[in-house]
Amino acid sequence: MTEILSTVQLKKLSNHKYSVEGTSFLEPPMQKFWRWLIEQVPTWWSPNAITLVGLIINITTTLILAYYSPDARQPVPPWAYILCAVGLFAYQSLDAIDGKQARRTNTSTPLGELFDHGCDSVSQAVVVLGSCIALRMGENPAWMLFFGCVGSILFYCAHYQTYVSGTLRFSKIDVTEGQICIIGIYLLSALFGDVIWTWPLPYFGVELKMLPIAFSLVGAVIQLKNNFAVIFMEGGVGKNGSTVAGTSTIFPMFPMALVIALEVMLQAKSPNQLYEKHPCLYVITFGLLAAKVTNRLVVAHMSKSEMNLFCFGLVGPGLLFLNQYFNSCLNEYFVLWLAFVIVLVDLYRYSSQVCREICKDLNIYCFTITSKPVPTSSEVNGTKSKNR
């Protein structure tokens, strides 16, 4: 398989230092629980394995919601919402302690940061889908599409400003608060039934679901304002205000802008109302594509390298575009599934290949805390030496 990271990128990535500042409102009280939780985890458990287990739980519980409500309009059994709330809380907790486990076992590496952000990007797409199902957003397809786009943009822009400033910055209302709110939505849907979100809101004449949407929009505006203030007003840490890679601070917006443009355009141009009939599959397809683009941005930041515009995952939406251009000669639903598979396989291929290359370069394993054996001189000079 063709290598993704060059020798120069791997060298810069191995020297990368994690920089973060700011704490949200809920983080200090949650830290007490997280510190207790990490003491219950055996020291042989790899930090990356902790993150991956949390992601698998989150994906599995959300898929149950999608099974019962593939159009985000059907009722879902209360137990499924409770399971989803538990799954998201489990992911949040395990995601919060993976770094503590790395420091506890003295296994902190740049791979851990990259793996954590990669799982977060996938989780973001999954959580957006789950919240849309719980709020029965399929009955308001325009809002559901907007919700999905905003979620991808917010997560991307957080890393966009990190690529420019070199530091990941948390606001007072950030990921932890958002996840707790979504857990609350799941629990309310379980307690009163998801029909609760269609109840009219007194004095406003709109459905109750518009309340969490409104709060989300306010939070999104504040978050984007903070991100863009760093990107365009403070400037980058590179030469002449450039990014950490010494590149333009403007260009990184285009890869995500292309994804969002395709997501909006393809649903508007579909002759068969593809998105309206299959909103969950549509939203998760573009959510995973956005996750792949975000992963490329994180790699570019950590390796201080330039980010390219083209992503192979764009082939999936490209097929939808071509099918529409030729008057939907193929069934659009089939092409959407094909696009989903292409995006999913490309995301897995890219992520796993990057992890393998970093593990090889740092002489570590991804899912165990035991370092690889140091090769003997004969192995270094023979067929087992690094071919870079």
Task: Find out whether 245 and 13 touch, Cβ atoms under 8 Å.
Answer: no
Q: Which of 117, 159, 278, 301 is catalytic?
A: 117
Q: Indicate if the alpha-carbon torsion angle 176, 287, 54, 364 is positive or negative.
A: negative
Asked if residue 140 lies in contact with residue 197, where contact means CB atoms within 8 angstroms, the answer is no
Q: Are the CB atoms for 2 and 353 separated by under 8 Å? A: no
Cα(387)–Cα(380) distance, rounded to whole angstroms?
A: 10
Check whether 382 has a pLDDT greater than 70: no
Is residue 159 flagged as an active site residue? Answer: no
**pLDDT value at 294 more than 50:** yes
Q: Angle 175-192/110-134 helices, nearest 10 degrees?
A: 30
**Domains of the chain, start order:** 7-372 (1.20.120.1760)
- The predicted structure's pLDDT at residue 370: 66
User: Rounded mean pLDDT of 107-131?
Assistant: 94
Give the pair of three-digit tokens for residue 104.
Answer: 């506890």
CA distances in angstroms from 166 to 98, 153, 279, 358, listed in the order given: 22, 19, 36, 21
What b/e string do you get for 240-267 counting C-beta neighbours within 10 Å, with b at 16 or more? eeebbbebbbeebbebbebbbebbeebb
pLDDT of residue 160: 94
Q: Which pLDDT band, with edges at 50, 70 and 90, does 230 fall under?
A: confident
SS3 state of residue 207: strand
Query: What pLDDT, in 10s, does the model give residues 178-193?
Result: 999 999 999 999 999 9
Identify the pLDDT of residue 45: 92
Whole-angstrom Cα Rg for the chain: 22
Q: Is the pLDDT confidence value at 385 over 80? A: no
Give 43-98 pLDDT, tens digit per residue: 999 999 999 999 999 999 999 999 999 999 999 999 999 999 999 999 999 999 99
CB 290 within 8 A of CB 262: no
Token representation of residue 368: 């165990």
Are the CB atoms for 114 and 302 separated by under 8 Å? yes
Are the C-beta atoms of 118 and 98 separated by less than 8 Å? no
pTM above 0.95, yes or no: no
Neighbours of 334 (CB within 10 A): 10
Residues 6+ apart with CB under 8 A from 151: 124, 125, 127, 128, 287
Nearest to 244 by CA among 315, 300, 200: 300
**Please, where are the H alpha helices in the chain?**
7-14, 27-38, 47-68, 78-104, 110-134, 141-165, 175-192, 210-228, 253-269, 274-277, 279-302, 315-325, 332-362, 377-381
Share of the chain above pLDDT 90, in %: 72
Report which of residues 214 and 372 the model is more confident about.
Answer: 214
| Proportion of the chain above pLDDT 70, given as a percent | 95
Average confidence (pLDDT) over 111-134: 95
Residue whose pair of structure tokens reads 């000079």 in the numeric block:
381
Q: What's the number of CA atoms in the CB half-sphere (13 Å) around residue 281?
A: 20
pLDDT of 378 reads 38
Whether 3 has a pLDDT exceeding 90, the answer reads no
Residue 197: pLDDT band by 50, 70, 90 thresholds?
very high
Residue 124: burial class (beta carbons within 10 Å; 0-12, 13-18, 19+): buried
Q: Is the pLDDT of residue 151 over 50?
A: yes
Is the per-residue pLDDT at 380 higher than 70? Answer: no
Residue 107 to residue 41: CA distance in whole angstroms: 15
CB 135 within 8 A of CB 93: no
Q: Is the pLDDT of residue 171 over 90?
A: no
168 phi/psi in degrees, rounded to 5: -80, 125
Among 204, 194, 179, smallest CA distance to 71 is for 194
List of long-range contacts for 339-343, beta carbons under 8 Å, 24+ apart: 339/285, 340/281, 340/284, 340/285, 340/288, 340/316, 341/316, 342/313, 342/315, 342/316, 343/285, 343/288, 343/289, 343/292, 343/313, 343/316
- Give the confidence band of 153 by pLDDT, cuts at 50, 70, 90: very high
Q: What is the pLDDT of residue 19?
A: 85
Mean pLDDT of 293-312: 92
Q: What pLDDT band is residue 1 in, cutting at 50, 70 and 90?
A: low
Residue 283 CB: number of other CB atoms within 10 A?
29
- Residue-wise pLDDT for 219-229, tens only, equals 889 899 989 98
The mean pLDDT value of the chain amounts to 90
Angstrom CA distances, 173 to 19, 182, 218, stand at 19, 14, 11
